[in-house]
C-alpha cells in the first residue's frame, strides 16, 4: 500500500474543486448575495411583545393553578386515608339463597374483609365449601332468628364459623353483609 493513500484508496491530501460562482456575478460572496434577497429586519413592535409576554404569563398561571388543584386533591386523599385508614381488601363470596322451610328463603351477598397479608385467592378457593356450610347452618335457623333483632350478628357469626372451619382461622377481620333479603 502506498504511503500517500488512505484506507479507502483516495489520495492524500484531497484537493476539492473551487465552489461555483455566486448568482450575481463572478467572485461575489454567497453570504452577501443571500443577505440582499431578504427584507430588512423590522424592529419588534412593543404592543406585540407585550401581548406575547401576557399570553405566556397567563399560560404559566393556568398551569400553576391546575397543578395546585392536582396537588390539593392528592393531599386531601392522603388526609382521608390517614384519618380512616387504607381501604380494606375484600373477598366477595357468591350470592346464595337458603330456603328456611315453607315458602320463606334468605338471599344474601357477603364480602369478607381480609387480614393484612392474606390474598383473596386463599379464601375464595374454599367458597363452594363455605357456601355449603352456610347453607346447612342458616337453613337450620328459624325465620324469627333471621328477621328479628340481632339477625345480622347471627349471620356474621355463622359466616365466620364457616370460614374458620373451611379455610382456616385468622384469615378475615370483619364481614360485610351487602345484601340480606328474607323472602
Residue 93 class from Cβ within 10 Å (0-12 exposed, 13-18 middle, 19+ buried)? buried
> What is the per-residue pLDDT for 52?
93
Position 100 scores a pLDDT of: 77
Question: What pLDDT score was predicted for residue 26?
Answer: 53
Same domain, 75 and 109: no
Q: For the chain, what's the residue count?
A: 183
Q: What is residue 169's predicted lDDT score, i.e. its pLDDT?
A: 87
The domain containing residue 79 runs over which residues?
47-85
Q: 367458597: which residue's cell?
A: 127
| pLDDT for the residue numbered 5 | 58
Number of domains in the chain: 2
* 174 & 119 share domain: yes
Give the pLDDT score at 4. 59
Q: What is the pLDDT of residues 65-110, one digit of tens each?
A: 999 999 999 999 888 888 887 778 888 888 888 887 778 888 889 9
Cis peptide before 151, with omega less than 30 degrees from 0? no
For residue 150, give the C-alpha cell: 340481632
CB-based burial, 129-166: b 16+ in 10 Å, e otherwise: ebbebbeebbeebeeeebeeeebeebbeebbeebbeeb
Query: What are the helix (H) ranges across 85-182?
Result: 120-124, 127-140, 143-147, 151-166
Predicted pLDDT at 73: 94
Residues of the chain under the 50 pLDDT cut: 1
Whether residue 127 lies inside any domain: the answer is yes
Of the residues 38, 61, 85, which one is the last residue of a structural domain? 85
Tell me: the pLDDT tens digits for 61-74?
A: 999 999 999 999 99
Q: Are residues 81 and 96 in the same domain?
A: no
Q: Which of 112, 115, 114, 165 is nearest to 137 (CA)?
A: 165
Q: Do 99 and 170 sit in the same domain of this protein?
A: yes
Same domain, 157 and 112: yes
pLDDT value of position 150? 85
Provide the pLDDT for residue 10: 59
Amino acid at each position: 500500500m502506498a504511503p500517500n493513500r488512505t484506507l479507502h484508496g483516495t489520495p492524500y491530501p484531497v484537493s476539492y474543486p473551487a465552489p461555483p460562482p455566486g448568482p450575481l456575478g463572478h467572485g461575489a460572496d454567497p453570504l452577501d448575495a443571500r443577505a440582499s434577497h431578504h427584507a430588512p429586519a423590522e424592529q419588534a413592535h412593543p404592543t406585540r411583545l407585550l401581548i406575547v409576554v401576557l399570553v405566556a404569563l397567563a399560560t404559566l398561571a393556568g398551569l400553576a393553578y391546575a397543578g395546585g388543584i392536582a396537588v390539593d386533591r392528592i393531599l386531601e386523599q392522603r388526609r382521608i386515608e390517614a384519618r380512616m385508614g387504607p381501604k380494606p381488601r375484600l373477598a366477595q363470596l357468591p350470592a346464595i339463597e337458603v330456603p328456611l322451610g315453607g315458602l320463606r328463603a334468605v338471599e344474601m351477598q357477603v364480602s369478607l374483609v381480609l387480614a393484612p397479608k392474606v390474598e383473596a385467592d386463599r379464601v375464595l378457593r374454599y367458597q363452594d365449601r363455605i357456601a355449603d356450610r352456610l347453607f346447612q347452618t342458616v337453613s337450620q335457623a328459624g325465620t324469627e332468628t333471621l328477621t328479628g333483632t340481632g339477625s345480622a350478628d347471627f349471620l356474621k357469626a355463622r359466616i365466620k364459623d364457616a370460614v374458620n372451619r373451611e379455610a382456616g382461622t385468622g384469615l378475615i377481620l370483619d364481614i360485610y353483609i351487602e345484601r340480606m333479603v328474607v323472602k
